[in-house]
A = this chain, B = another copy of it.
Amino acid sequence: MIRFDTDYTQGAHPRILQRLAETNLEQTIGYGEDEYCRQAADRIREACKAPGAAVHFLVGGTQTNTTVIASALRPYQGVLSADSGHINIHETGAVEATGHKVLALPVQEGKLTAAQIAEYVDWQALNDSAEHMVQPGMVYLSNPTEVGTIYSKEELTAISTVCKSRGIYLFLDGARLGYGLMCPENDLTLEDLAKLCDVFYIGGTKVGALFGEAVVIVNDRLKRDFRYNIKQHGGMLAKGRLLGIQFLTLFEDNLYFEISAHAIELARKLKRGLSELGIPFYMESPTNQQFVILPDTVCQELSKSFAYEYQERMDESHSAIRFCTCWATSEEQVQALLAELKRLKEGAA
């Protein structure tokens, strides 16, 4: 079985494992106050050209989203999200569990627009019943999105401008950030994110780490006492240095970007191959998630030797499914998948 269902089917990049082994018996202070975390934070600040940013390391994405959102909102505020947003669909109501509504707006390709945000915020603010409604206090974007698309610098700038003018925070979920930054279609940099967002995170779990997400807080108002929030949400790892060591390794020698580029290269090979096989795409994605539409009979056969993720039923006999490449995917795996799809396609013909 070769797995293309997600981008977290394997462990960590070998250099990370090696570093963990080398440092294993060192004694450090706990809870992220060690030297490795400090150095990793410095590297990330440098990479973002944001010397004043606060950098914190959490274990996983749901935890990170919840902690950031709950710490930023007032009790009666909610967070605007694409209806396809991870916080809206796939976090078991974690944001609501902290008392805040996810204000889901309908989107087509996983992306909110500046106009859409402005319209909603203004509509609520000027409504006769404004006080009876949840007030938007933050915008949540994922980049890349849950369907593999990315925001352009122009789009993100427009959203940032709307947020600033309305006094609401902009938060970018970068669980797959590396895969977004390294695709040729992308024109955003870490530096841009640090300028345009109030807070964002750089995902490690899906990009080479065993686990871990690095939160970068740019807006001073969000910095205060953030560690209290981390602790309360169960995100303060006792052996915090594990996170520091991992991110230090990822942000040394360009590793984070190199392994992201590797995944993108293979995703493009996969995409080209799928295209050559005449398989229709569910979504035009430039990143490591590729979505195609296949007959259910093909899906069933395929599942005997390849794992994919089910996305959506398209019609009575077709489904949309997802393939992910990642830092650890090999060329051979991609070729094997394409060969099998070719075989199934010919068999079906």
A92 at the interface (CB under 8 A from B): yes
CA distance A23 to B210 in the complex (A): 12
In the complex, the answer to whether A92 meets B66 with C-beta atoms within 8 Å is no
List A52-104 residues whose CB lies under 8 Å from chain B.
59-64, 66-67, 70-71, 74-76, 78, 89-94, 96-102
Pick the contact of A228 from B67, B100, B135 — CB < 8 Å?
B135
In the complex, the answer to whether B238 meets A8 with C-beta atoms within 8 Å is yes
Q: Please classify how large the interface on chain A is, using the bins under 10, 10 to 19, 20 to 34, 35 or more.
A: 35 or more
Contacts of A232 in B (CB 8 A): 75-76, 91-94, 97
Contacts of A70 in B (CB 8 A): 75
CA distance A227 to B59 in the complex (A): 18
Q: How far in angstroms is the closest Cβ of chain B from A314?
A: 15
In the complex, the answer to whether A237 meets B225 with C-beta atoms within 8 Å is no
In the complex, the answer to whether B76 meets A237 with C-beta atoms within 8 Å is no
CA distance A75 to B92 in the complex (A): 10
> Residue of B at shortest CB range from A241?
B11
11 new A-B contacts, CB < 8 A, other than A17-B17, A76-B228, A97-B233, are A60-B237, A64-B234, A74-B225, A76-B231, A91-B132, A93-B99, A94-B232, A128-B310, A131-B225, A135-B228, A206-B238
Given contacts A12-B24, A20-B17, contact A229 B96 (CB under 8 A): no
Q: How far in angstroms is the closest Cβ of chain B from A179?
A: 15
List A190-236 residues whose CB lies under 8 Å from chain B.
205-206, 210-211, 225, 227-229, 231-236
Q: How far in angstroms is the closest Cβ of chain B from A22?
A: 10
Contacts of A231 in B (CB 8 A): 62, 76, 91-92, 94, 131-132
Given contacts A21-B21, A25-B328, contact A92 B76 (CB under 8 A): yes
In the complex, the answer to whether B239 meets A205 with C-beta atoms within 8 Å is yes
A186 at the interface (CB under 8 A from B): no
A51 at the interface (CB under 8 A from B): no
Q: How far in angstroms is the closest Cβ of chain B from A160?
A: 24
A29 at the interface (CB under 8 A from B): yes
A188 at the interface (CB under 8 A from B): no
CA distance A234 to B227 in the complex (A): 16
A250 at the interface (CB under 8 A from B): no
In the complex, the answer to whether B12 meets A27 with C-beta atoms within 8 Å is no
Contacts of A131 in B (CB 8 A): 31, 92, 225, 227-228, 231, 236
In the complex, the answer to whether B8 meets A30 with C-beta atoms within 8 Å is yes
